[in-house]
Copies of this chain bind each other. A is one copy, B any other.
Amino acid sequence: MSRRVITLTTDFGTGSPYVAEMKGVILSICPEIVIVDISHQVAPQDVRQAALILDQTVWRFPDGTIHICVVDPGVGTDRRIVFVQLGVQCFIAPDNGVLSRLMRRDELRRALVLTQQDLWRHPVSDTFHGRDIMAPAAARVATGQSLERLGPATDRLVMLDWPEPEVRGAEIDGRVLTVDSFGNLITNIGHDLVDRLGNSAAICVRCAEHTIRGVVRTYGDRDPGTLVALIGSSGLLEMAVVQGHAAQRLQVEAGAVVTVSCA
């Protein structure tokens, strides 16, 4: 078998010793694993942001990758920890909705509740299930541990509400989903909806009293400092300032309303 990959997504912050603790536990069980950091800069306890980061990244990874997500405001309470398989990707995370955006994208093949305590690290800290339950469970799955031994199946997972853009004739009402590290405002409006409205030069994007005319192909199509709309690398409409920071320019954050129409 080819080497397996485990990814880590947490709100621990860059350079956190907590991340290193998880890696040590994983490597102690499964020395051949490849560990990839997706992000440790999820805003503290921001389950929705973690869900969006996972949805942007996990589909690029090899079949059978195990993605651990520790954004877990309910650590140590009776919230469950689950193993979920969506298509060819596997996940271990608290059952708090952090996987719910992913479920719109691929087939749910398996959902198990982690209950089998002999697969965990002991004593289990009530404040760090990432290290003591999720990391060892993922490492054991990577070494070929039978999935059935993890715990019982469940057919009910916590789902968050992910508002869809509304299409009304030649107008789309959407939202800013997230702001990336360049300050670009990523919306929930897919390229297919935009394409259907008409010619890209005739599209009009409005947000926070700003109006952008035309959808460009890439940042370099306009001069530095220009506010542009374009289809970003995840296939979603975004607003950007060429070589600048759109979120600061527009004073806008996640949740803001975006309206797209055709002139």
Q: Report which A residues bind B (CB closer than 8 A).
A: 2-3, 5, 7, 12-18, 20-21, 23-25, 27-28, 31-32, 34-41, 44-45, 53, 56-62, 65, 73-77, 79, 125-128, 131-132, 180-182, 217-221, 230-233, 235, 243
- Residues B36 and A126 in contact, CB atoms below 8 Å apart: no
Interface centre among A7, A15, A232, A243 (most CB of B within 10 A): A15
B77 touches A221 (CB 8 A): yes
Q: Complex: how many Å from CA A23 to CA B31?
A: 19
- Across the interface, which residues of B come within 8 angstroms of A59, CB to CB? 24
Contact A62–B20 (Cβ < 8 Å):
no
Contact B20 A218 (CB under 8 A): no
Neighbour of A218 across the interface among B38, B40, B77, CB < 8 A: B77
Cβ contact within 8 Å between A128 and B233? yes
Assess the B76–A131 pair: CB atoms within 8 A: no
**Given A44-B243, A75-B218, A233-B128, A38-B20 contact (CB < 8 Å):** yes
* Contact status A74-B220, CB under 8 Å: yes
Q: A5-B27, A60-B25, A127-B230 are in contact. Are A16 and B180 (CB under 8 A)?
A: yes
Interface pairs A-B: 5 shortest CB-CB: A76-B218, A24-B60, A15-B41, A128-B233, A13-B181
**CB <8 Å contact, B3 and A31:** yes
Residues of B within 8 A of A181 (CB): 12-13, 15-16, 18
For A65, the chain B residues whose CB sits under 8 A away are 24
Given contacts A31-B62, A218-B76, A218-B126, contact A57 B21 (CB under 8 A): yes
Residues in B with CB closer than 8 Å to A40 are 15
A36 surroundings in chain B (CB, below 8 A): 20, 23-24, 27, 35
How far is A142 from B231 in the complex, measured between Cα atoms in Å?
A: 31
The docked-state distance in angstroms from the alpha carbon of A77 to that of B12 is 36
Distance to closest chain B CB from A219 (angstroms)? 6
Q: How far is the CA of A120 from the CA of B132 in the complex (A)?
A: 39
